[in-house]
Chain A
Amino acid sequence: MQQSVEFRGRSREALGNEQIRSNFRQAMDGLMSKRKASFPDQDELRRLRLRAAEIRANALLKLPELLERLEQRCHENGIQVHWAESTAEANAIVLGIMQRHDARLLIKGKSMVSEEMELNHYLEAHGIECLESDLGEYILQLAGEPPSHIVAPAIHKSRQQIAQLFRQKFPDIPYSEDVDTLTRSARTILRRKFNQAPVGLSGVNFAVAETGTICLVENEGNGRMCTTVPPVHIAVTGIEKVVEHLADIPPLLSLLPRSATGQHITTYFNMISSPRKPGERDGPQEVHLVLLDNGRSRIYQDQELIQTLRCIRCGACMNHCPVYARIGGHAYGTTIPGPIGSILEPQKAGLDRLGDLPTASTLCGACAEVCPVKIPIPDLLNRLRFERVRSDGDNLTPGQGSQRHGWEPTVWRAWSWLHAHPLVYRLGTRIASRLRWLQPRRLGNWSRVRSTPRVASRTLHELAAKNGFNDE
């Protein structure tokens, strides 16, 4: 997880990069129209979102209990469960499993939690090779870049850029900009590795407490390969991914791919409930489930902010975000970018480090409008804007009050005083309208791309009185 306080610098850089801007704009336009086309029935969508939100809210309400049940069921099914409070603990658990099997190669399916853990770096420092098998992630691994989107990690790259990258990394393969040819090349390279890797790693979309089932949604089949071909499978997940019942899965599954890419179903949906049983001819001999906290149980304690944890990582909020569409995912500098990242990541890493992110929104509400589990993202952004400058705190959100400095608090106090004293306000606005010729011609950054609004010659207070609109 590359993190830095330099959001502004990076977003400025991204805005100046025509290629990035047009790549994102085109991709987001496409994803938005696909999503829209996949929900022709607005009533159905409304019902499904209500149901999905209810399922996720219920699961979070009972989180401790459901996690225990999940552990119990997994245990009964023969899945080994590991608890990790921090990413360091989670990394150590994965390393431990690798070492026990003397494994030098890990083949990975797509997992945002492994990005959060910076697992690849960690394992490579311990002499273990990690290979991403999701096409987008594989491209990024070749390019040495982090994902810029949670569903389509390499979306910031154009087809031409990917073709160039392949030429550079694999000079023997004939140059092609054709998507199918590129995919075929990657597949040939990856196939060999699947057969060699002693351990496969995957993420988790849902973990069912009732049955101890790990659910994995994917399109490329690499997830199925990672979880069935190597003799050992490790699934890593945040503790919030649990749901109570198996029957909770269909409504969530009916929303997730449609919200994400406009697909009604994904090409693959894997439900993993145990390692290979005696007499079975395939599947891994060992299955591990690593449950990562990393700040989530703290978020869980706040009645409002807990809604952050409902997320099913469909990416719709970023696809519809006008800010994300302009600056792309890297500008955020966090594992999860976009609107959900702007509420989730500062709660994990602290508002002292990521205090800018909650301000990086116009609160236009496009995200909340499409979120399949109805997370009120603008309300939570507003809440975190409060947390970042509040003067008293409950010490629940890290970095509380850290952005309260400089002139800002004084300016708001003065503003508040003025607007709470109608007489002073009326006098002030009246004077401003009389002295409007003194008004500055430019207003800082505002006027760099806009004309400066002119104070009117009479205030509405005056016009109202003059036209017979009065108090009682």
Chain B
Amino acid sequence: MSPSDRYPERPQRVYFFGTCLIDLLYPEAGLAGMQLIRREGVEVLYPRDQTCCGQPAWNSGYRDEARSVAMRQIGCFPQPYPIVVPSGSCAGMMRHQYPRLFQGSPEQETALAFAARIFELTEFLVHVLKIDLQDLGAPVEVALHVSCAARRELQVADEHRVLLQQLEGVTLLEQQRAEECCGFGGTFAVKHPEISAAMVEEKCNAVVATGATRLVSGDCGCLMNINGHAQHRNEALQGQHIASFLWERTNAAER
């Protein structure tokens, strides 16, 4: 599918699905995402009844439990506006896994229509809003981690890069094995802590080796993992959601 088939014209209004991780742990990232869209002249609605996309239960095999949560989310977004999600992982769940979750159920059609309205934040900024960022920040060197869901399930790795490349003062430093998973994997990190630890250790090594002091990612799960490990090791590296990073560098009031 070419981008023009997949992406709608610039809408007047969008919904924002903040994700549970951002809601509780990284709210500034969700807020920044909404502010970026609003600054482009698009109204952003944040339905209050949203909670979680249901992915944790779905990936643990608890399908009934995932379905009842997912059903509630679908109900939160009744109008046909696009739904923007600041996470590749949650966007992937709602776009690609909801159709599987509801396959053969009476809600199948509803779930399919809902899934088609889901957009990950970076793809929405690049392809729908065609955003043009003006960098106001001081020169900085950053490393980028694209989550596996963003890279493979949604194929929006390039969109992450495009946004960072719009920022004049930002130098993107390339790491070794950038495509490799950081080892988070949701419940994987809990079920197989040693394997997960070995993975995040190597990921962190690769990022630190670039010399970057900033790590940007579109997924808070990966950030929690990589950044958490970096902090544990007392590395100078600081992780930040790409929305927060973009907002911070382009918003005059923040300077």
Contact = CB atoms under 8 A, between A and B. Distances in A.
A266 interface: no
- Give chain B's interface secondary structure class: helix
Interface string B14-28: 001010101111111
Interface string B169-204: 000000000011101111111111111111111000
Interface residues of B, number: 74
B232 A451 contact: yes
Contact of A469 (B16, B20, B66, B149): B16
A327 B197 CA distance: 12
Contact of A460 (B31, B57, B152): B31
Given A322-B180, A450-B225, A469-B16, A420 B197 contact: no
Nearest to A376: B100
Contacts of A77: none
Contact of B51 (A8, A362, A425): A425
Interface residues of A, number: 68
A380 to B, nearest CB: 11
B68 A385 contact: no
Given A361-B188, A369-B152, A416-B68, A456 B45 contact: no
Interface of B: 16, 18, 20, 22-28, 30-31, 34-35, 38, 44-52, 54, 56-66, 68-69, 71-72, 79, 100, 148-149, 152-153, 179-181, 183-201, 224-225, 228-229, 231-232
6 contacts: A361-B188, A412-B60, A415-B56, A420-B72, A459-B27, A470-B46
A12 B196 CA distance: 11
A250 to B, nearest CB: 29
A433 B24 CA distance: 7
A460 B22 contact: yes
Contact of A445 (B23, B28, B69, B193): B193
A2 interface: no
A323 B148 contact: no
Nearest to B37: A469
Given A416-B57, A433-B24, A453-B228, A365 B195 contact: no
Contacts of B30: 460, 463-464
B101 to A, nearest CB: 10
Nearest to B16: A469
Contacts of B68: 416, 420
Contacts of A461: 18, 23, 46, 48
A360 B193 CA distance: 10
Contacts of A382: 58-59, 61
Contact of B23 (A366, A448, A459): A459
B23 A360 contact: no
